A and B are shown apart, each in its own frame.
Chain A
Amino acid sequence: MKEKSKTLSIKERGLASFESIMWLFTRLSALGMYALILFAMIGALVMGARNNMNLADVMRWSFMPNVTHVESTDVPDLEPWATPFWKLTASALLLVATAHGVHGLVVIADDYIVTEGGRKIVRLLSIVMMAGMSLMGLWIIWTS
C-alpha cells in the first residue's frame, strides 16, 4: 500500500484509526481546557479575587475550580465558590483533563513499550486509570 502524505489536510487524510482520532482530541481538548481555565479565572475575578487572592491562588482555582482550592485564601465567604455551577465547570475540566492526560501517558509509554502484548497491557491499565481518576475526582468535587 502506498503511504499517504502527512501534508494532506485532516479532511483528506481521514480519521481512520483510534490514534488519529485521539491526535485530534488531544488538540481540541487542549483548546477546551484553555476556555474552561479562562472562564474560571474570569469567574474568580468577578467573585472578588482581586482583593483577596494572590496570583498563585487565582491560578490554582483556575486550573481546578473546586472550593477547597480557595479555603487557604482571604476570601471571606466561600458560598459563591461552592455552587453547582462551579462544580459542573470543575467536572467538565476534570473529565476532559483526565482523558487528555491518560492518553498522553499512553503516547509516552508507546515510545518505550513496543511489543503488541505490552501495548495491550498499557491500554488496559489506561482504561482502569481513566475510569478510576474520573470517578474519584467527581466524588471529591461533589462532596467538598
Chain B
Amino acid sequence: MGLKRDVSLATGLRYRGPAGYLTFILHRIGGLGMATFITVHVLASFVGGEVGAAINHIYENWAFQAFVFFCVLFHAINGLRITLLDLFPKLLVHQKEAIWIEWAVFIPLYALCLYVIVSAGLGG
C-alpha cells in the first residue's frame, strides 16, 4: 500500500496524464489562483486604510486582471463540464468531445475579456 513518491518535483511537474490532464492542472492552478486572490482581497478590504488601499491598487493592473479572469473563467467553464459529466455519468464516454466544446467556449470568451481589459488598461 501507499504511493511511491520518489520522483523529483521537476519530473512530477512534467508528468502528462491521459486526456484531460491539461484541464485538470489548469483547474487546479485556477482554483489556487482564485483562493489566493480572494483571500488577499478580503483581508485587504477588511483591514482597509492605507495598507488595504495599497494592496487593492495592485488589482488595477491590467496584467493582474488578465490573470484573475483566466483563473475565474477557466475554473467556471471547466467546472461546468466536470459537474455535468459527474452528475450524469452516462455522458462520460463523450469526455473528449466535452473538452473540445469547453475550449470552444472558453477561448472566444476569454479573448473578448482580454481585449476589453488590455484596451482599457493601455488606453486609459
Contacts and interface: CB of A to CB of B under 8 A. Distances in A.
A34 B31 contact: no
Interface residues of B, number: 28
B37 to A, nearest CB: 11
Interface string B68-90: 01001000100110110011010
Contact of A54 (B76, B89, B120): B120
Interface of B: 3, 28, 31-32, 34-35, 38-39, 42-43, 45-46, 65, 69, 72, 76, 79-80, 82-83, 86-87, 89, 112-113, 116-117, 120
27 contacts: A27-B83, A27-B86, A30-B79, A31-B83, A33-B76, A34-B76, A34-B80, A54-B120, A56-B113, A56-B116, A56-B117, A59-B69, A63-B72, A97-B38, A101-B31, A102-B35, A104-B31, A105-B35, A108-B28, A108-B31, A108-B32, A129-B39, A133-B42, A137-B42, A139-B46, A140-B42, A140-B45
